[in-house]
């Protein structure tokens, strides 16, 4: 009787081991054959915006390097990117759903009380690019250099009017960062949109603004505005100073801006992550991407793995504490173990 029971036990064990090995073999084969169907790329901002434009220009270049599978792009905007990100999070961790989002969204969801999600809930593929803000003024403004503006702002705390789109927006945080590291204070006024901020500045209702380089270059070339600096350590446009060069105290937190990144679910198999990383890194070398980046004044990044997290952690530390100290964030970054920079 004991022998019969032992025989049944071993038979069951052999069957279990066989099924497990079969399942593992199928999983390994599926991973090795990746991708063998279309991939969905979810952009968390609306069609026609800068992030959408970046995603739609980069994904075809990545697609060419993934063996024939198509990348189908979808826009899922809402809740500062949290809706599209939750959609991706609910998908299988198999590399067939990519998330294209920004630090302006994923880096501040938790402290702003928008979502429990965080960048750390995903696996990075690549830190694609950054859109650098500029510090700019009307052409008739009295300041001809960054140092002149800083000196005046320090001598008249809260008297110079700086416009921004909305609390927590790129221009708002850029203004807060500028004030923090220049030891100055502006009268920060929201205007409900980046275009409205620029219009207010050109109309004389705002004295200083912080908008992405691409949105200011037309007026700069037309002589309507003076760009005093870009939020970078390297010169992006000849004749326009880099903030980190003219004011070295800023250099440790630069380049700062709206960084676009590609992510997948956290438990995506490592071989699939590596394939996507390789395709993304190779796509960055494509001449079409270089031409697009130059046209839109986009600074290419390219960090993956540990280097990705170094950049993101610095950005989050700088940005979330600026928002919290300004009374904009609902929760303290300390609640999420985000250290002060």
Q: For residue range 14-64, list pLDDT tens digits in order.
A: 555 555 554 445 445 558 889 999 999 999 988 888 899 999 999 999 999
Question: What integer pLDDT is reported at residue 26 of this predicted model?
Answer: 46
Question: Which contacts (CB < 8 Å, 24+ apart) does range 83-88 have?
Answer: 83/44, 84/42, 84/43, 84/44, 85/42, 85/44, 85/109, 85/115, 85/117, 85/122, 86/115, 86/117, 87/42, 88/42, 88/122, 88/263, 88/264, 88/265
Q: 231 pLDDT band (50/70/90 cuts)?
A: very high
Q: How far apart are CA 32 and CA 268, in angstroms?
A: 13
The set of residues, in sequence order, having a beta carbon less than 8 Å from that of 253 and lying 6+ positions away, is 177, 181, 314, 318, 341
Question: What integer pLDDT is reported at residue 68 of this predicted model?
Answer: 82
Question: What integer pLDDT is reported at residue 11 of this predicted model?
Answer: 56
Helix 270-283 / helix 2-32 crossing angle, nearest 10 deg: 0
Range in 128-132, 191-195, 325-329 with the lowest mean pLDDT = 191-195
For residue 292, the Cα-to-chain-centroid distance in whole angstroms is: 18
Q: How far apart are CA 287 and CA 47, in angstroms?
A: 24
Question: What integer pLDDT is reported at residue 18 of this predicted model?
Answer: 53
Q: 65 pLDDT band (50/70/90 cuts)?
A: very high
User: Is the per-residue pLDDT at 149 higher than 90?
Assistant: yes
Among the listed residues 133, 124, 143, 139, the one whose alpha carbon sits nearest the alpha carbon of residue 163: 133
Pairing of strands 208-212, 161-164: parallel
Whole-number CA gyration radius for the chain: 24
What the chain holds in terms of domains, given with CATH numbers, is 34-130+259-336 (3.40.190.150), 133-253 (3.40.190.10)
Q: How far is CA 76 from CA 79, 88, 166, in A?
A: 10, 10, 21
Which of the listed ranges 40-54, 72-86, 220-234 does the model predict with the highest average pLDDT? 220-234
The larger pLDDT score, comparing residue 299 to residue 57, is at 57
The token pair at 218 is 């037309």
Question: What integer pLDDT is reported at residue 23 of this predicted model?
Answer: 44
Q: How far apart are CA 115 and CA 184, in angstroms?
A: 33
The larger pLDDT score, comparing residue 105 to residue 110, is at 110
């Amino acid at each position: 009787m004991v022998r019969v029971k032992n025989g049944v036990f071993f038979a069951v064990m052999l069957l279990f081991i066989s099924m497990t090995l079969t399942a593992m073999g199928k999983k390994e084969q599926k991973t090795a054959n990746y991708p063998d169907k279309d991939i969905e790329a979810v952009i968390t901002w609306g069609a026609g915006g800068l992030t959408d434009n970046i995603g739609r220009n980069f994904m075809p270049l990545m697609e060419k390097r993934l063996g024939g599978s198509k990348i189908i792009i979808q826009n899922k905007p809402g809740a500062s990117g949290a809706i599209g990100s939750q959609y991706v999070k609910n998908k299988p961790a198999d590399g067939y759903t990519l998330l294209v989002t920004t630090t302006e969204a994923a880096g501040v969801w938790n402290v702003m009380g928008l979502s429990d999600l965080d960048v750390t809930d995903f696996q990075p593929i690549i830190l694609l690019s950054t859109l650098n803000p500029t510090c700019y003024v009307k052409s008739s403004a009295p300041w001809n250099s960054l140092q002149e503006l800083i000196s005046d702002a320090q001598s008249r705390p809260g008297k110079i009017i700086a416009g921004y789109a909305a609390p927590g927006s790129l221009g708002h945080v850029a203004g807060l960062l500028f004030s923090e590291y220049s030891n100055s204070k502006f009268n920060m006024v929201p205007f409900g949109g980046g275009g409205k901020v620029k219009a207010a500045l050109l109309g004389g209702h705002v004295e200083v603004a912080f908008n992405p380089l691409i949105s200011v270059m037309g007026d700069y070339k037309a002589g309507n505005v003076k760009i005093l600096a870009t939020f970078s350590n390297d010169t992006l446009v000849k004749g326009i100073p880099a903030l980190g060069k003219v004011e070295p105290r800023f250099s440790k937190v630069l380049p700062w801006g709206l960084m676009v990144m590609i992510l997948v679910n956290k438990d995506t198999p490592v071989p699939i992550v590596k394939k996507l990383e390789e395709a993304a890194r190779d796509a960055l070398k494509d001449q079409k991407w270089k031409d697009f980046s130059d046209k839109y004044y986009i600074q290419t990044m390219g960090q993956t793995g540990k280097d990705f997290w170094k950049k993101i952690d610095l950005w989050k530390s700088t940005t979330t504490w600026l928002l919290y100290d300004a009374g904009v964030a609902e929760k303290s970054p300390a609640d999420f173990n985000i250290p002060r920079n």
